[in-house]
């Protein structure tokens, strides 16, 4: 039987941070050593990055393998969505990557294709959609609901009872105030929370907020 083939889609900034986690995860969970771990990139920066081969998507598809799985390590959520649709059309399985030091508490459900980087914390009673990316040291407290293709930069502090809708982007070190079960804080679809922002109120869909307290960015 031929080898298993695992791909990290995106051979740039985030991909380089995800590759070592993928390597460790495979070492811990795979029953066999007969697998290959590669980058996939539509504009390969080099033929190899940090010792891993970089294939184009077409090359990846042409490789013969008994199983193919792909993790998408690109921060731009719209690109992530497009690539996830392409992967699914070709029958390639989405792959989730999680550092062994990630802390996941009780009753947490996370969708497919997530990337949980080092020291991420998901507290209890949380629902997360597909293709969530949580960069290093980002925290999600109890009773949060997170949609599809949501992205957290490093060190995000999301307190309890916050709802974050699809495609929202929360920048490095931002903090979101705790809501209540009856009145959660809502970060709308496609909203952007700037680096270090302190969010005290709902953020409407598509709006970018910055600062402390966070306010809409004036164009
Ligand atoms: N990329 C790709 N297909 C796309 C869009 C982007 O393969 O449709 C690759 C792009 O060539 C680059 C990487 O994804 O190598 C994105 O890297 P970037 O540094 O822009 O973002 P990050 O790694 O921080 O998400």
- Per residue in 178-188, pLDDT (tens digit) is 999 999 999 99
Q: How far is the CA of 132 from the centre of ligand 1 (A)?
A: 16
Q: Given this model, what pLDDT does residue 143 score?
A: 98
- The mean predicted confidence, pLDDT, of the chain is 96
Of 11, 17, 41, 133, best ligand 1 pocket probe by most atoms within 8 Å of the beta carbon: 41
**In this structure, which residue's CA is closest to atom 8 in ligand 1?**
79
The residue length of the chain stands at 219
pLDDT in tens, 115-135: 999 999 999 999 999 999 999
Using 50 as the pLDDT threshold, list the residues of the chain that sit under it. Answer: none
Q: Say if CB 162 and CB 147 are below 8 A apart.
A: no
Ligand 1 neighbours (beta carbon < 6 A): 10-15, 41-43, 45, 74-75, 79
Closest CA to 5 of 22, 17, 18, 20: 22
Q: How many helices (DSSP H) and strands (DSSP E) are in the chain?
A: 3, 25
Q: Given this model, what pLDDT does residue 1 score?
A: 59
Q: Give the number of the atom of ligand 1 that is nearest the alpha carbon of residue 16.
A: 23
Q: Given this model, what pLDDT does residue 105 score?
A: 98
Closest CA to 24 of 1, 6, 42: 6
Asked about 142 being catalytic, the answer comes back as yes
**In this structure, which residue's CA is closest to atom 13 in ligand 1?**
10
Positive or negative: CA dihedral 78, 12, 22, 193: negative
pTM: 0.96
Residue 206, token pair as written in the block: 């598509």
């Amino acid at each position: 039987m031929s080898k298993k083939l695992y791909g990290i889609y995106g051979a740039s900034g985030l991909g380089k941070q995800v590759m070592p986690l993928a390597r460790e995860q495979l070492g811990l969970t795979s029953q066999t050593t007969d697998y290959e771990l590669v980058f996939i990139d539509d504009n390969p920066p080099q033929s190899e990055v940090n010792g891993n081969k970089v294939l184009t998507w077409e090359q990846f598809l042409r490789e013969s393998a008994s199983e193919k799985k792909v993790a998408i390590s690109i921060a731009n959520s719209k690109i992530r969505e497009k690539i996830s649709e392409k992967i699914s059309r070709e029958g390639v399985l989405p792959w989730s990557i999680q550092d062994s030091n990630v802390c996941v508490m009780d009753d947490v459900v996370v969708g497919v294709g997530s990337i949980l980087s080092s020291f991420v914390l998901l507290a209890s009673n949380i629902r997360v959609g597909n293709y969530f990316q949580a960069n290093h040291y980002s925290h999600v407290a109890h009773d949060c609901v997170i949609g599809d293709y949501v992205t957290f930069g490093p060190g995000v502090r999301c307190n309890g009872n916050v709802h974050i809708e699809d495609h929202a982007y929360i920048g490095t070190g931002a903090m979101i105030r705790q809501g209540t079960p009856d009145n959660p804080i809502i970060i709308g679809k496609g909203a952007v929370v700037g680096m270090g922002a302190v969010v005290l109120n709902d953020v409407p869909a598509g709006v970018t907020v910055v600062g402390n307290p966070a306010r809409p960015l004036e164009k």
